[in-house]
Amino acid sequence: MRVLIVEDEVRQAAALARGLEAEGFAVDVAGNGTDGLWMATENAYDAIVLDVMLPGMNGYRVCAELRARDVWTPILMLTAKDGEYDEAEALDTGADDFLSKPFSYVVLVAHLRALMRRGSPQRPAALVAGGLTLDIAEHSCRRDGVAVELTPREFAILEYLMRRAGEAVPKRNIVDHVWDSAYEGHDNVVEVHVSSLRRKVGPDAIETVRGGGYRVGGRVG
């Protein structure tokens, strides 16, 4: 896991870098906003620790500019408790999380790990097809904007079909990808789950295709 620290206070930056390296992170340090922006654009980091108070280009501007350049690396912003900037503003500019200075080092590492687990805000894109929206990160499903509760297996089947929206997907492929490889059951198990899915998301959302498969989102081509 590679982390970029953008902090002008040399001692604080060095202490942070040492601490994170001891936790097993690979760490780069930028001493001002302009360098930070450049490094974050040129390199792929798993997370960025970005101080708000920086000479020249402040942390908010760095954050907003990164998002404007389509860089979606998770950003943990360091704010000063009684400074002129506040936490709401940090989130407004596209930061994913913030910590007020002074912060505990343990808390910082916990926040960083949580951010990395969540990944980039753009990466878990929602799948949209046939009136259905599947949010992979949230594990939620909506039909025409209305939330639908699915079991994990139903969700997995629907995700598999929606990743192939417009394609006729044979039942066997669904069994092979949604059940683990040790499963030797019959393809009919898919039918049972699909009929349950149809009761929840609407009978027309999942089409049965000739030859024994399913399709979401209409035929392509």
Least separation in angstroms between residue 55's CB and Ca ion is 8
What is the rounded CA–CA span in Å between residue 52 and residue 219?
Answer: 50
Stretch that binds Ca ion, among 6-14, 123-131, 157-165, 184-192 (CB under 5 A): 6-14
User: What phi and psi, each to the nearest 5 degrees, are found at residue 99?
Assistant: -135, 140
Stretch that binds Ca ion, among 2-10, 42-50, 63-71, 158-166 (CB under 5 A): 2-10
Torsion sign, CA atoms 23, 72, 146, 166: negative
What is the rounded CA–CA span in Å between residue 37 and residue 97?
Answer: 18
Query: What number of chain residues touch Ca ion (CB under 5 A)?
Result: 4
Nearer to Ca ion, 8 or 87 (CB): 8
Stretch that binds Ca ion, among 51-59, 60-68, 117-125, 159-167 (CB under 5 A): 51-59
Nearer to Ca ion, 9 or 89 (CB): 9
DSSP secondary structure string for all residues of 41-67: HHS--SEEEEES--SSS-HHHHHHHHH
One-letter identity of residue 217: G
Q: Which of 1, 8, 31, 57 binds Ca ion (CB under 5 A)?
A: 8
Residues that bind Ca ion (CB under 5 A): 8-9, 51, 53
